[in-house]
């Protein structure tokens, strides 16, 4: 069974320090509407966690939410996902659907090209030869009460052994921009950045805090007396 990292404030801060330059460089390549460089002052929320696999180096993972709503995920040596706060496909409040009605200004072919161009900007394209082929899915635009929701979802899928791999884009077809990128593929795995704080494993933490302690069981409840 995989162990887990016992996340302390010191470890979380060290991971954030290591990842902020990576997220900044990534955002700069894509010319995303986020402050560059990204600093602690731009961070609304940060979380690090993840399993520790025996025989493998401890992976450095991070989920970052900026004060302007943009979100980024990092794992296995690369930014594996990012999302705009204006992504229609993850909209939770259905009352806000009218806000996303618009005019379609790009074709499906152009949406696929935008996805491929984005992979090139991220320096991911050469590692993903599968995306030179036709996508498995190009969905959209959508219709709502006779109005146009100008959004596309472009997705490539393939298998490595018995594992399914995915590259997915959500695209705003009116603003002609990517609103979400998601990847799940070993093609992009790379070396994790160095973190100055050595993390403690959850199993080690539990053993340490329980060392020398005994668990005392409560006495069993008294037997009920028979009714009079």
Residue extents of the structural domains in the chain: 1-75, 95-185
- List the one residue out of 82, 63, 11, 60 whose CA is nearest residue 189: 60
Q: DSSP code of 89?
A: G
- 95-185: CATH architecture: Roll (3.10)
Query: What is residue 215's predicted lDDT score, i.e. its pLDDT?
Result: 47
Q: Are 5 and 202 in contact (CB under 8 A)?
A: yes
pLDDT band at 5 (very low <50, low <70, confident <90, very high): confident
Share of the chain above pLDDT 90, in %: 76
Task: Find the mean pLDDT for residues 154-167.
Answer: 95
**Rounded average pLDDT over 188-212:** 85
% of the chain with per-residue pLDDT over 70: 92
Determine the average pLDDT of the residues in 147-160.
96
pLDDT in tens, 74-115: 999 999 999 999 999 999 898 999 999 999 999 999 999 999
Q: Is residue 25 left, alpha or beta, with left meaning phi > 0 and alpha meaning psi from -120 to 50?
A: alpha
Q: Identify the pLDDT of residue 227.
A: 53
Nearest to 77 by CA among 134, 129, 18, 146: 18
The pLDDT of residue 54 is above 60: yes
**What pLDDT is recorded for position 220?**
52
Residue 55 has pLDDT above 80, yes or no: no
Computed on alpha carbons and rounded to an integer, the radius of gyration of the chain in Å comes to: 23
Q: Average pLDDT for residues 148-169, to the nearest whole number?
A: 96
- Categorize the per-residue pLDDT at 222 as very low, low, confident or very high, splitting at 50, 70 and 90: low
Q: Answer yes or no: is pLDDT of 182 > 90.
A: yes
Mean of pLDDT values over 49-67: 89
Average model confidence (pLDDT) for the chain?
91
8 A C-beta contact, residue 154 and residue 169: yes
């Amino acid at each position: 069974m995989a162990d887990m990292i016992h996340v302390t404030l010191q470890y979380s801060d060290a991971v954030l320090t290591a990842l902020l330059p990576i997220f900044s460089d990534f955002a700069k390549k894509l010319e995303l509407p986020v402050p560059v460089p990204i600093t602690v002052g731009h961070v609304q929320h940060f979380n690090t966690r993840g399993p520790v696999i025996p025989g493998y180096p401890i992976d450095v993972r991070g989920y970052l939410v900026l004060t302007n709503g943009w979100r980024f995920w990092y794992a296995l040596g690369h930014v594996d996902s990012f999302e705009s706060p204006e992504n229609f496909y993850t909209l939770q409040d259905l009352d806000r659907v009218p806000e996303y009605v618009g005019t379609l200004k790009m074709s499906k072919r152009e949406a696929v090209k935008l996805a491929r161009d984005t992979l090139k900007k991220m320096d991911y394209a050469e590692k993903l030869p599968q995306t030179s082929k036709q996508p498995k899915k190009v969905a959209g635009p959508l219709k709502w009460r006779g109005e146009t929701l100008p959004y596309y979802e472009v997705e490539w899928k393939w298998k490595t052994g018995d594992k399914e791999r995915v590259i997915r884009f959500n695209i705003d077809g009116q603003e002609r921009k990517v609103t979400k990128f998601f990847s799940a593929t070993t093609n992009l795995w790379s070396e994790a950045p160095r973190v100055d704080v050595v993390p403690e494993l959850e199993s080690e933490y539990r053993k340490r805090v329980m060392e020398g302690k005994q668990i005392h069981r409560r006495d069993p409840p008294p037997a009920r007396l028979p009714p009079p």
